[in-house]
Amino acid sequence: MNKVITHHKVLGDERGQLVAIESGIHIPFEIKRVFYIYGTQPNVPRGQHSHHKTQQYLIAVSGSCQVTLDNGQEKVTHILDQPHIGLFQDAMVWGSMHDFSPDCVLLVLANEHYNDSDYIRSYPEFNRILAK
C-alpha cells in the first residue's frame, strides 16, 4: 500500500498547539465535505465499506482509534492516536474504523459530497469490482 500516514507539522508555542491542513498541499484532493464521528464504543466498529470515487482523510483530533485499510491485496491496521497524524483512504479501498477510545473524535475530510450511491457496502461486491 502506498504511503497513507502523514505526521503533520505541529505549530506550537506557549499558548498551545495548532495543526494546519491544506487541500492540494498536505492532502491530495480539494475538500468538499467534513464530518466527524464521536460518542463511539470500543467494541462497535464503523465504516466497513468502500467508495467508488470518494477519497477520505482521517484524523483522530481527540482520543484514539484504529483504522484498517484493505485495497484487495493488502490489509493494514493503522493507529490514530495523536491529533497531528492523518490517514489517507483512497477510493476503492475498504475501510473499517474500530477500537475507539471513549473520548475519540474522528475528523474526516472528503473530496465528494455525501452520495449514498458512491458506497460499496458488500465486501464480495468490492472484490468483484476490483477484479474487473
User: What are the residue numbers of the active site?
Assistant: 49
For 123, counting Cβ atoms within 10 Å of its Cβ (0-12 exposed, 13-18 middle, 19+ buried), the class is middle
Residue closer to ligand TYD (CB basis): 47 or 86: 47
* CB 22, min distance to ligand TYD, A: 21
> Residue 48: left if φ>0, alpha if ψ -120 to 50, beta else—which one?
left
* CB 108, min distance to ligand TYD, A: 7
* CB 126, min distance to ligand TYD, A: 15
Residue closer to ligand TYD (CB basis): 5 or 114: 114
Half-sphere exposure of 85 (CA within 13 A, CB side): 16
Which residues lie near ligand TYD (CB under 6 A)? Answer: 33, 35, 37, 46-47, 114
Residue closer to ligand TYD (CB basis): 67 or 85: 67
CA-only gyration radius of the chain, Å: 15
Print burial letters for 36-69: b (CB count within 10 Å at least 16), e (below 16).
ebeebeeeebbbebbbeebbbbbbbeebbbbbbb
* CB 55, min distance to ligand TYD, A: 13
Number of H helices, E strands in the chain: 1, 10
Residue closer to ligand TYD (CB basis): 74 or 116: 116
